[in-house]
Amino acid sequence: MDPATVISSITTAIGFAKELIAVDKAVDEATWKLKLAELTSALAEAKLGVVELNELVSALDSEIERLKRAFEFQGKTVKINDMIYEVQANGKPVGMPFCPRCLAVDGRHIKLAMIEKPGRPAQCPQCKSDFAHQSRYTQSGET
């Protein structure tokens, strides 16, 4: 449920509450009960909408945190032969490069994996993009 629908449901519920105030309970009990039922229904719909919006806000907060972590990681990389590698504390690259497609499109740092094919190509485990042979750096920074 989108925010406009939730606001509309709450506005409708407020309208029903105002109508309840205006109804003379002693004179028209059937109208009173009908308006009370409409108010209850509108409030229930609004409550469901608020719950859905809360879930959406939580999902968006999680995505924001993921993007913040991805952005922070940017400072710990080095570009070698058009590929991005993680950098150790000593400034030397380590491991396999990150998938350039996932980095550019999704903002995710997914390391390529070597696959058993002729020419020892690398593949992204996330998007399955294939890459020609890539250098893999050891802890000492050597290939």
- State pTM to two decimals: 0.54
Domain assignment present for 140: no
- Do 43 and 60 share a domain, yes or no? yes
pLDDT at residue 26, rounded to an integer: 59
- Give the chain's domain count: 2
Does the pLDDT value for residue 82 go beyond 70?
Answer: yes
Domain assignment present for 56: yes
Domain assignment present for 88: yes
Tell me which of 72, 99, 116 is where a domain ends: 72
Domain assignment present for 85: yes
pLDDT band (50, 70, 90) for residue 96: very high
**Residue 35's domain spans which residues?**
3-72
d(CA 24, CA 81): 81
Contact yes or no for 116/102 (Cβ under 8 A): no
Domain assignment present for 139: no
Tell me what the mean pLDDT of segment 26-33 comes to: 72
Domain assignment present for 138: no
pLDDT band (50, 70, 90) for residue 143: low
- Do 12 and 39 share a domain, yes or no? yes
Does the pLDDT value for residue 111 go beyond 80?
Answer: yes
Q: Which of 142, 94, 99 is nearest to 122 (CA)?
A: 99
- Do 50 and 9 share a domain, yes or no? yes
